[in-house]
Structure 1
Amino acid sequence: MLELSPLPYAEDALAPHIGAETLAFHYGKHHKGYVDKVNKLVDGTELDALSLVPLIRKVAGDRSKKTLFNNAAQVWNHDFYWRSMSPKGGGKPRGALAEKIDSELGGYDKFRKRFKEAATGQFGSGYCWLVVGDTGRLEIYGSPNAETPVAGNDEVPLLTADLWEHAYYLDHRNERDAYIDAFLDHLVDWDFAAANLASVASLKAGQAVPAK
């Protein structure tokens, strides 16, 4: 049975960029709802014994389990999204991650431009990801709905921005670009992303999230 992971900060800690009301609904209603739905769907089945990432991989691609996949993937994506932000976040990365961004993405300014373009250009709901791809190089892309890089074994996610409207509508209305500016300039937790990068050599995709 899954449990709702606690937020890594208070509900008002990301204000004014993401307000307490947004966090109360997003975490307390949406995120909790996904956890509750997964538990209901797996109750009394052989899937109940699986932890989150193995469960996602088990049902990925199975059309008969699409509802379960969507809800399980959303649990993982939200756990990762909360940790991708910090009340003291934003700005530019440092150390090995900064060097990798410089050498593979052309520097922070080009990274920022590409990340914002991918996030604002993603049609409908979804996420924007910075990952280490199967070549070992950094990649930026948007994914629809509940899709997640941990459904496979070939990518290690470093950070993500939630693009569902409930992530930003109360604070930024329909201005997704303003939300992404706030995410990059004031919220993104580069220490979390750097720790995930440091773990690439020994971790498979999905294990970058701290154990529950």
Structure 2
Amino acid sequence: MKKSNTKVSRRYFISRSSKATLAFGIGSSLVGSAFLTACGGESTDENETKLSTGFEQAALAYDYAALEPHIDAMTMEIHYTKHAAAYAKNLGEAAAEEGVDVSAPLEEVMMNISKYSTKMRNNGGGHYNHELFWKTMSPDGGGKPSGDLEAAINDAFGSFDEFKSKFEEAGKTRFGSGWAWLVVDSNKKLAVGSTPNQDNPLMDVSDFQGVPLLGIDVWEHAYYLKYTSDRAGYIGNWWNVINWDAVSERYDALK
């Protein structure tokens, strides 16, 4: 299966970006511009993190059972092979129908989603959100962030515990289905919020704007087999599988 990260030459990407008319969302900010550069820029440093998301479903970096007991194997298998796979398939169809260049980062489409169809919004968002979700979890996860991300969390929220409380509240109180997020906002500060359905903070139509660092799926399909209606229990246990190294790499790449 093809890798999800697409390397695009800096000259090609800047050319495309300069021609794009971004709506007044995160994409029109300095943070958004830096994020797009990090997604598509060509680097001579092989260790530099690439943030771009491709249009195809990437392979999981761990087994379906690897996140147990916090997320069960059956939920992971169904979630990845049915729900997320369907978003990737439908996104590919929408891209073909609407003439989208699938060699460019999906982030560019997300930031201009108002120009595309509902099919693109729902499935592009679903695909992007899940690709980030898988990458920011690990069987070796848990604990707390360190370094610059830890300092930024303390600066924005007062403490890690206060951040957790605000994040959990965003997830628990999201009406119906959706996602809760930790983002870098247009002021280069960390912020917590939520979006409905498969929307995300990159979208120019979103009420909550920012570059996602971390997101949790609070659709029932993400937790119902194990937790039934206990969304709060699912969110509380999810902290044990967060890959803070991956989240920190995303944050560091934006600086």
When the two structures are superposed, what TM-score results if normalisation uses the length of structure 2? Answer: 0.73
Q: Is the 8 A contact 2:55 2:102 kept in 1?
A: no
Secondary structure of 2:119's counterpart equals helix
Are residue 121 (structure 1) and residue 173 (structure 2) matched?
yes
Where does residue 228 of structure 2 map in the other structure? 173
User: In 2, Cα distance between the equivalents of 1:200 and 1:134?
Assistant: 12
1:120-159, Cα deviation, whole Å (9 max, x unpaired): 011111111001111111100011111112224x722111
Where does residue 20 of structure 1 map in the other structure? 73
Where does residue 3 of structure 2 map in the other structure? none
Q: Structure 2 regions of 5+ residues with no counterpart?
A: 1-53
Where does residue 150 of structure 2 map in the other structure? 98
Between the two proteins, the alignment pairs up a number of residues equal to 197
User: In 1, Cα distance between the equivalents of 2:176 and 2:157?
Assistant: 26
Secondary structure of 2:233's counterpart equals helix
Are residue 198 (structure 1) and residue 228 (structure 2) matched?
no
Shift of 1:49: 4.1
Are residue 138 (structure 1) and residue 190 (structure 2) matched?
yes
Shift of 1:56: 2.9
Letter in 2 for 1:53: E
When the two structures are superposed, what TM-score results if normalisation uses the length of structure 1? Answer: 0.87
Letter in 2 for 1:140: V
Shift of 1:41: 2.6
Secondary structure of 1:160's counterpart equals strand
Are residue 86 (structure 1) and residue 138 (structure 2) matched?
yes
Secondary structure of 1:47's counterpart equals coil
Letter in 2 for 1:198: D
Are residue 182 (structure 1) and residue 237 (structure 2) matched?
yes
Where does residue 162 of structure 1 map in the other structure? 217
Secondary structure of 2:66's counterpart equals coil
Q: Is the 8 A contact 2:227 2:233 kept in 1?
A: yes
Shift of 1:48: 5.0
Where does residue 63 of structure 2 map in the other structure? 10
Q: Is the 8 A contact 1:84 1:161 kept in 2?
A: no
User: In 1, Cα distance between the equivalents of 2:133 and 2:250?
Assistant: 13
Where does residue 38 of structure 1 map in the other structure? 91
Where does residue 74 of structure 1 map in the other structure? 126
Q: Is the 8 A contact 2:64 2:76 kept in 1?
A: yes
Letter in 2 for 1:161: I
Shift of 1:50: 5.5
Relative distance call for 1:45 and 1:142 in structure 2 (3 A) is: closer
User: In 2, Cα distance between the equivalents of 1:96 and 1:43?
Assistant: 40
1:58-98, Cα deviation, whole Å (9 max, x unpaired): 4x124x70122110111010000111211111122111111
Relative distance call for 1:44 and 1:176 in structure 2 (3 A) is: closer
Shift of 1:43: 2.7
Secondary structure of 1:7's counterpart equals coil
